[in-house]
Amino acid sequence: MRRERVVITGTGVVSAFGAGLDACMNGLFAGQSAVRAWSAPEHIRGLDCRVVAAVPALPPPSLPRDLRRGMSAMSHFAWLAAEETLAGLDAEARRSTGVAIGSTLGSPATLQLFFDEFLQSHDVSGIRSMVFFKVMGNTVASNISMACGCCGRQVAPCAACASGLQALGLGFEAIAAGRETRMLCGGADELHLLTLAAFDRLGAASHHADPLTASRPFDTHRNGIVCGEGAGLLLLENLEIARARNATIQGEIIGFATNSSFSGLAYPDADSVRLCMAAALDDAGLVPDKVTYINAHATSTEAGDMAEGTAIAQLFGASVPVSSLKGLLGHSLAASGPIETAACLSMWQRGLCLPTANLVNPDPRCGTLGHVIEPMPMPYGPVLKNSFGLGGCNASLLIQPYQEK
């Protein structure tokens, strides 16, 4: 099997801080929270969460009608991120670019519109042509392929909150194997009552009222996720292709692994997480003590943080710095992995490692970890990024600063 080097040459983000990588990174590096207070509409009963990390209102996409008619909010976010990521890439280069973009669901807002009408009328004759294009599982990948003129392979991994990081891994594997030379990869999701309600009823949504401290990864007093939305995309390229066009290389992907947990639909287990991280290390040809920083998935749930923390402690001990960005960002679901990977690139660029916000009393049940609780100098070396999804899907990606070798 060929093993081409794969580098990162573009990033784009839409987050609860707004559109653009800079908006997100400037917020994070300033220690600001993107989490806001939220109230369920009065007619909705049984929902207890009071905070969200929603994307602020954005202008509609400046695209011809035929290219935006199949876009729900998640594709809109992804298109903004894609154009930021692909800036400088001409039409011919875009045509040879593949797309791997995942989301946890097709558009839940569109599904709601369908059933609102259908359950009233039991008549489908008025269903608009674009409904299915917004709810199908590859809605984001297909919309972005069309809108951005990308004609390489179209992949739409669906692995719940690991979808975005899994997309990065699948893009990496396709380029490393010599099957593609350039891939636009990442994840996107739109916030909807369905997601809020699902996490709330599973006991996985934060019930803290103060937006600033509602998400507390690894903290003893954490009690759940702050649900969010957004899009995070990275442009991955074969090194030689990137060098030939004098692209700015922001980092290199050196390893990836994804596996499944058999412990239960909703409960990640430390063993499968450890195995996933170990497999990513094997893929990169690294031993654990070469990893200089771990950007954890750590969503602020009791079970998830315990499983991940325990696995990190078992594999890496307490010497590797570990932090989660969800204390400030909330959890943007499929977008979270790519957004947080982009943040790791920014940490190298700015020389500053971001801490886990709101981590005051580390939960000893999460293992003894090298928690980053204050900003510190960013190690300029390999970084492990984790994402895990409901349904037992794990993904781990290893990146490192680019060196010519």
Partner 1 sequence: MKRSTIIDIVNTALAEEFELDAAALTPETHLRDDLNLDSLDYVDMVIVLEKAFRFKIEDKQQLVNIHTLGDVYNFIESMRDQGIVRQEDQERSA
Active centre residues (catalytic)? 161, 297, 331
Say which amino acid occupies 285.
Answer: G
Taking CB under 8 A as the binding criterion, the range among 11-19, 62-70, 107-115, 161-169 that sits at the site for partner 1 is 62-70
Taking CB under 8 A as the binding criterion, the range among 64-72, 236-244, 298-306, 336-344 that sits at the site for partner 1 is 64-72
Query: Any idea of the CA torsion for 285, 289, 293, 295, to the nearest 10 degrees?
Result: 70
212 within 8 A of 51, measured Cβ to Cβ: no
120 counts as binding partner 1 under rule CB under 8 A: no
Least gap, CB of 70 to partner 1 (angstroms): 9
Least gap, CB of 66 to partner 1 (angstroms): 7
66 counts as binding partner 1 under rule CB under 8 A: yes
Least gap, CB of 69 to partner 1 (angstroms): 8
Query: In angstroms, what is the C-alpha Rg of the chain?
Result: 20
Taking CB under 8 A as the binding criterion, the range among 11-19, 79-87, 122-130, 259-267 that sits at the site for partner 1 is 122-130
Picking from 292, 341, 300, 297, the residue whose alpha carbon sits closest to that of residue 319 is 292
Q: Which of 129, 287, 364, 404 binds partner 1 (CB under 8 A)?
A: 129
| # residues contacting partner 1 (CB under 8 A) | 8
139 versus 301: smaller Cβ distance to partner 1: 139
Picking from 188, 196, 193, 191, the residue whose alpha carbon sits closest to that of residue 74 is 188
Least gap, CB of 124 to partner 1 (angstroms): 11
How far is residue 223 from each of residues 82, 196, 205, 248, 391, measured CA to CA in Å?
A: 34, 14, 7, 41, 20
Least gap, CB of 131 to partner 1 (angstroms): 10
Which segments of 50-101 does DSSP mark as H helices, in order?
65-68, 73-85, 91-95
59 counts as binding partner 1 under rule CB under 8 A: no
106 versus 304: smaller Cβ distance to partner 1: 106
The secondary structure of residue 161, as a DSSP letter, is: B
132 versus 267: smaller Cβ distance to partner 1: 132
Least gap, CB of 128 to partner 1 (angstroms): 6
Q: Which of 43, 126, 246, 405 binds partner 1 (CB under 8 A)?
A: 126
Q: Which of 65, 92, 246, 405 binds partner 1 (CB under 8 A)?
A: 65
In this structure, what token pair is assigned to residue 258?
């994804």
Picking from 230, 227, 187, the residue whose alpha carbon sits closest to that of residue 18 is 230
45 versus 65: smaller Cβ distance to partner 1: 65
Q: Which of 40, 109, 130, 303 binds partner 1 (CB under 8 A)?
A: 130
Written as one string, the DSSP assignment of 363-398 is -GGG-S-EE--S-EEPPSS-EEEEEEETTTEEEEEE
Say which amino acid occupies 282.
Answer: D
Tokens 């220690």 sit on residue: 31
69 versus 243: smaller Cβ distance to partner 1: 69
In this structure, what token pair is assigned to residue 83?
């154009």
42 versus 66: smaller Cβ distance to partner 1: 66
Taking CB under 8 A as the binding criterion, the range among 61-69, 101-109, 180-188, 241-249 that sits at the site for partner 1 is 61-69
Q: Which of 39, 62, 120, 125 binds partner 1 (CB under 8 A)?
A: 125
In this structure, what token pair is assigned to residue 206?
């934060």
50 versus 76: smaller Cβ distance to partner 1: 76
Written as one string, the DSSP assignment of 136-152 is STTHHHHHHHHHHT--S
CA torsion sign for 349, 353, 356, 358 is negative
Interface with partner 1 (CB under 8 A)? 65-66, 69, 125-126, 128-130
